Structure 1
Amino acid sequence: MEDIKLKLGKGGLILAAMGIISIILSIFNYNIRLLAWVDAWGNTMGWVIRILLILGGGALFLFFGREEDDEA
């Protein structure tokens, strides 16, 4: 069970990083190939999806990304 939590945390970190990189690259009219579909619904929806990637990925990392300390 612990292994699944760590994988979810790492996946969340990757999602958040992709959202941040996508925002930075969109300023220069570039995009990550994996996230090219984001702007298919328009500029505003593209920004909403990028922000949701950051928030969702950050939440996954916050809740599942760290190993819990055993208090024995």
Structure 2
Amino acid sequence: MKNFGGFLALLGIAAIVMNYLDRVPRLLMWIYNWGDNVAWGIKIGLVVVGGALYFLGPKEDEVAEEASEPTDVKEE
């Protein structure tokens, strides 16, 4: 989830910065159909949700350890 959250946050920040340069990422071109206020809300939402996923998601080491640990199987 950290990778996806980082991507969302980076996309939101890039959209905010590129807005000031009069450029819009193609992936976010549709948000301007509803006006500037809604577009700003979506961009800020991307940064907030992406940051939350990044900081609250499990660390990559924890995910790798859980996958490599053997399960306890009782032998009879």
Sort the TM-score into its range (normalised by shorter chain).
Answer: 0.7 to 0.9
Q: Give the corresponding residue for 2:54.
A: 61
Are residues 1:32 and 2:25 paired? yes
Q: How many residues align?
A: 62
SS in 1 for 2:24: coil
TM-score by length of 2: 0.75
Question: Take 1:39 and 1:54, find their aligned partners in 2: how far apart are those partners?
Answer: 17
1:42-71: CA deviation from partner (whole Å, max 9, x where unpaired): 001000000000000000001115344x8x
Q: Give the corresponding residue for 2:9.
A: 16
After TM superposition, the runs of 4+ consecutive aligned structure 1 residues lying more than 3 A away are none
Change (3 A) 1:45 1:62: same
Question: Take 2:47 and 2:3, find their aligned partners in 1: how far apart are those partners?
Answer: 13
Question: Take 2:17 and 2:50, find their aligned partners in 1: how far apart are those partners?
Answer: 17
Question: RMSD of the alignment, in Å?
Answer: 1.5
- Select the structure of larger CA radius of gyration: 2
Gaps of 5+ in 1: 1-7
Change (3 A) 1:61 1:25: same
Gaps of 5+ in 2: 66-76
